[in-house]
Amino acid sequence: MPRTYQHDVLIIGSGAAGLSLALHLPADCRVALLSKADLNQGSTYWAQGGMAAVLHDRDTVDAHVEDTLAAGAGLCKREAVEFTVRNSRRCVEWLVSQGVDFDLREDQSVNREFHLTMEGGHSHRRIIHSADRTGRAISEVLTEQALAADNIEVFTHRVAVDLVHGDSRCQGAYILDQKSERVDLFQARAVVLATGGASKAYLYTSNPDGASGDGIAMAWRAGCRVANLEFNQFHPTCLYHPKAKSFLVTEAVRGEGGKLLLPDGSRFMDRFDQRGELAPRDVVARAIDHEMKRLGADCLYLDISHQPRDFLESHFPTVMQRCRELGMDMASEPIPVVPAAHYTCGGIIVDTAGRTDLEGLYAIGEASCTGLHGANRMASNSLLECIVYAEAAAADISEKLPRLGAPSSAPPWDESQVTDSDEDVVISHNWDELRRFMWDYVGIVRTNKRLERALHRVNLLQSEIAEYYGNYKVGNDLLELRNLAMVAELMIRCAIERKESRGLHYTLDYPEPLAEARDTVLAPSNSPL
């Protein structure tokens, strides 16, 4: 039988955003924290690079703000950028207080000074890190703290189906328990979507399997606006190997002197940007894509073999180990790389407290569109955004909770009219088709015709998925496919609206940027606004 759970706050997602919000809420607040798989399986855990913050006297808030605005290609909201950057130092201090062990400079004598690295688009060394596994360090520490907190109840292997909303507010969500295959009802006075992005809409991605846009799709179905979903950041350097799957090579490799090479061993980035390998990600990824297509090459190469082996083992142990497992030695040879979908720059529209259009519903992290990233996320600003907006949302929720009544009771999930599916192959085939045509038609280079074809294909897929969803019991694969198809449609519709080339994405029909950068905002028919 389906179960009903009652909490003060329901947090869907257990990455940096969800975990830090849970820990910022008052100790007397009853919190449900839901994870799609085991804890530490999301994108945060696999984030290699680091977290941007103004931590050195030679750096300034203004410099970080201006770097971010420049990388965002005109679409960043200055208010959001300043809000995020102003709070960067305090959020780092909070992470340190929780127990995150960031790397320190080797040459320090008395004072504890963090080792800061350089990444594309930044004018200063401002990336605080824990070797090349910063996300893992943050995730493990915050997970440990959440599990130890008496007021936080953690639920693993739980997949969100849809939000429950009525009386002009969000009141909870239907959640699939993957182990019992039962859909339970979770109700709360405030609901937070910390579900990550939708990179799995593409054939090649650097993100784990859970990045299926669940929160974005659910918020849209509940009536929330979305914006700028046509901007998907492609990480320039994902390892190219048949067994590598989705392994990215941190941008810090280029920050420490790594050079991008053509198959003949020659450099090329200086032809595209005066900053060379340290140009922002959109410039580098598009340059690599251009050269691969020009040459008909399967991949290009990243070379940092001029650095001592001890230096590489110290700074990039994760990358070194993975390369060794695949028969490559980063210390003695260039490694093959390709761009891959990495980050969803747009998402659910929120304010600086993470509030969506629906009362009682918040969105933080990659699922949200705060105005920080614009047309292209600057390296390592995303972990910072998670922590800053989690803190802000927690403060807003804490202030409002005493005045919020309990949610109205909702009916349990009804699956009396559905049956077990005997055609799961349909799901896998549709999944493959979706990711392939998104890669072919809605990638780095686009045309009107390609986008029209993609929209036609995704609409056909959605009608088939809707029939399947209406007749069979839900499972994780079906739910992810349903959400991915929904978000893919929104990506395509946003891309069709953008009659220009901006950021990473180049449109052959509109090769120049417009004089004024504008958000592509989509509003569902059931929007409360």
Closest CA to 276 of 255, 295, 301, 294: 255
Element (H, E) at 349: strand 347-349
Max mean pLDDT among 236-245, 315-324, 345-354 falls in 345-354
What's the CATH number where 294 sits?
3.90.700.10
In tens, the pLDDT along 425-472 reads 788 899 999 999 998 899 998 999 999 999 999 999 999 999 889 888
Q: Per-residue pLDDT for 351 more than 60?
A: yes
Q: Is 327 helix (H, G, I), strand (E, B) or coil?
A: coil
Per-residue pLDDT band for 207 (boundaries 50, 70, 90) equals confident
Tell me the C-alpha distance between 24 and 27, whole Å: 9
Cite the DSSP H helix spans in 316-447. 317-325, 381-400, 424-441
Please give the share of the chain, as a percent, with pLDDT higher than 70: 99
Q: Give domain status of residue 475, yes or no.
A: yes
Average pLDDT of the residues in 479-503 = 97
DSSP state of 517: -
Per-residue pLDDT band for 379 (boundaries 50, 70, 90) equals confident
Query: Mean pLDDT score of the chain, rounded to an integer?
Result: 93
Please give the share of the chain, as a percent, with pLDDT higher than 90: 75
Beta pairing, strands 347-349 & 368-369: parallel
Q: Give domain status of residue 220, yes or no.
A: yes
Closest CA to 339 of 203, 503, 431: 203
Tell me the C-alpha distance between 499 and 130, whole Å: 41
pLDDT of residue 110: 58
Question: Are 138 and 277 found together in one domain?
Answer: no
Tell me the C-alpha distance between 407 and 428, whole Å: 37
- Tokens at residue 464, please? 């088939």
Per-residue pLDDT band for 111 (boundaries 50, 70, 90) equals low
Question: Are 337 and 483 found together in one domain?
Answer: no
What's the CATH number where 515 sits?
1.20.58.100
Question: Are 490 and 371 found together in one domain?
Answer: no
Question: Are 315 and 365 found together in one domain?
Answer: no
**Cα 253 to the center of its chain, rounded Å:** 21
pLDDT of residue 405: 86
Alpha-carbon separation of residue 510 from 70, 488, 513 (angstroms): 21, 21, 8
pLDDT of residue 135: 87
Q: Which residues contact 399 (CB under 8 A, 6 or more apart)?
A: none
Question: Are 204 and 241 found together in one domain?
Answer: no
Q: Which domain holds residue 367?
A: 4-230+345-401
Looking at residue 229, its amino acid is: L
Question: Are 24 and 97 found together in one domain?
Answer: yes
Q: Give domain status of residue 407, yes or no.
A: no
Average pLDDT of the residues in 93-110 = 83
pLDDT of residue 418: 83
What's the CATH number where 22 sits?
3.50.50.60
- Tokens at residue 7, please? 């909490």
pLDDT of residue 488: 98
Alpha-carbon separation of residue 420 from 1, 303, 414, 424, 483 (angstroms): 16, 52, 14, 10, 20
Tell me the C-alpha distance between 265 and 279, whole Å: 20
- Tokens at residue 411, please? 């009916």
Indicate which residues carry an active-site annotation.
281
* Angle subtended at Cα 15 by Cα 13 and Cα 20, rounded to the nearest 5 degrees: 100
Q: Give domain status of residue 139, yes or no.
A: yes
Question: Are 248 and 391 found together in one domain?
Answer: no
Question: Are 64 and 86 found together in one domain?
Answer: yes
**Cα 9 to the center of its chain, rounded Å:** 22
Question: Are 288 and 381 found together in one domain?
Answer: no
Average pLDDT of the residues in 306-335 = 95
pLDDT of residue 43: 80
Question: Are 68 and 194 found together in one domain?
Answer: yes
Question: Are 391 and 250 found together in one domain?
Answer: no
Full-model pTM: 0.91
Q: Give domain status of residue 18, yes or no.
A: yes
Q: Per-residue pLDDT for 277 more than 60?
A: yes
Question: Are 337 and 350 found together in one domain?
Answer: no
Q: Choose the final residue of a domain: 325, 341, 357.
A: 341
Could you give phi then psi for residue 79, rounded to 5 degrees?
-60, -45
Q: Per-residue pLDDT for 108 more than 70?
A: no
Average pLDDT of the residues in 386-403 = 97
Q: Per-residue pLDDT for 421 more than 80?
A: no
In tens, the pLDDT along 160-202 reads 999 999 888 999 999 999 999 999 999 999 999 999 999 999 9
Per-residue pLDDT band for 120 (boundaries 50, 70, 90) equals confident
Q: Per-residue pLDDT for 477 more than 70?
A: yes
Number of domains present in the structure of the chain: 3
pLDDT of residue 48: 74
Tell me the C-alpha distance between 261 and 71, whole Å: 23
Q: Per-residue pLDDT for 422 more than 80?
A: no
Closest CA to 236 of 213, 264, 259: 259
Choice between 92 and 131, residue whose per-residue pLDDT is larger: 92
Q: Give domain status of residue 418, yes or no.
A: no
Q: Give domain status of residue 526, yes or no.
A: no
Give, rounded to a whole angstrom, the gap between the first and last alpha carbons of the chain.
37
